[in-house]
Amino acid sequence: MPRLREVPRGELQDDYLKGLYKVLFGERDPVAEPGTATGTPGNWWTVFAQVPDAFKHTTEGFAFYRSPKRVLSDTLRELGQTRAGFLVGSQFVYSQHMKAARFAGLTDEQAEAIAHWPTATCFDAKERAVLAYTDALVLQYGRVPDALFDELKAHLSEVEIIELTYITCTYMMHGIMSRAFKLEYDDVDERVVEVPAPEGTTADVMGMVDKREQ
């Protein structure tokens, strides 16, 4: 279950929200009958509906990256979005954009190699520059080496770089929020937890283990 309350259809007051609910869920109340056409639970929408202007702002962002005004190619955009989802550990963003990456023209081999791109041979120089730049944005919080930025500029225009940066960072944010709220496919238990020692284990035995690990 999400960590925040979902908004049922009957509570909607905003016309924009009502319209999006109808598009996404038909006549159903998505809280009582969850699910979207793409197979997700749909609770990203129902949780963000608590703040209608944030909901509208975010969904307009989806329209931004799909706009015909964009100069950046769909394939390069999806490399950034999918890699960002993988790096922040968002199952939701990664899974959804693996599908979108294939729809945008990436092969199955390329889509599956996004997770391990440095050792993959299926990307050209431009695609590798985009993936390396994405890693610098997400893992190094925008600390991009000059040599990497120069390589990116050798392949992309300045407008393309701005669009790539904005969209990739937006999806880094979406992945983080999805994990924080436990939305959609990010509703998972914490994996890094203490594993109990066998019953009767003594402090002396644990001390011996600690010494071996040093």
Compute the distance between CA of residue 78 and CA of residue 86 in angstroms, rounded to an integer: 12
pLDDT for the residue 171 = 97
pLDDT for the residue 199 = 83
The distance in angstroms from the start CA to the end CA of the chain is 40
54 in a structural domain: yes
178 in a structural domain: yes
pLDDT above 60 (res 211): no
Tokens of 3: 């960590």
| Amino acid at position 155, single letter | H
> pLDDT-based confidence at 197, cuts 50/70/90?
confident
CATH code, domain with 89:
1.20.1290.10
Compute the distance between CA of residue 138 and CA of residue 131 in angstroms, rounded to an integer: 11
Higher pLDDT, 205 or 63: 63
Using an 8 Å Cβ cutoff, are 53 and 107 in contact? no
Name the DSSP letter for residue 31. T
Digit-coded pLDDT (tens) for 121-178: 999 999 999 999 999 999 999 999 999 999 999 999 999 999 999 999 999 999 999 9
pLDDT above 70 (res 214): no
pLDDT for the residue 52 = 96
Using an 8 Å Cβ cutoff, are 8 and 34 in contact? no
81 in the same domain as 20:
no
Percent over 90 (pLDDT), the chain: 88
> pLDDT-based confidence at 200, cuts 50/70/90?
confident
208 in a structural domain: no
pLDDT above 80 (res 45): yes
Place of tokens 């038909």: 26
| Amino acid at position 105, single letter | G
Q: What is the DSSP string of 82-128?
A: HHHHHHTT-HHHHHHHHHHHHHTT--HHHHHHGGGGGG-SS--HHHH
Digit-coded pLDDT (tens) for 65-78: 999 999 999 999 99
Domain C-terminal end among 64, 80, 109: 64
Rg (alpha carbons) of the chain, rounded to whole number: 21
Q: What angle do the packed helices 74-87 and 158-181 form, to 10 degrees?
A: 40
Higher pLDDT, 185 or 207: 185
85 in the same domain as 40:
no
Local structure of 32: helix, strand or coil = coil
Question: What's the pTM?
Answer: 0.91
Residue 180 has a CB neighbour count (10 Å cut-off) of 11
* Average pLDDT value for residue range 5-16: 97
**Mean per-residue pLDDT over the chain, rounded:** 94
* 142 CB-near residues (< 8 Å, 6+ apart): 136
pLDDT above 70 (res 208): no
Q: For residue 183, how far is the Cα from the chain centroid?
A: 11
pLDDT above 70 (res 212): no
114 in a structural domain: yes
205 in a structural domain: no
Per residue in 70-87, is it b (16+ CB within 10 Å) or e — as a string? bebbbebbbbbbbbbbbb
pLDDT for the residue 204 = 66
Domain that holds residue 23: 9-64
pLDDT for the residue 85 = 98
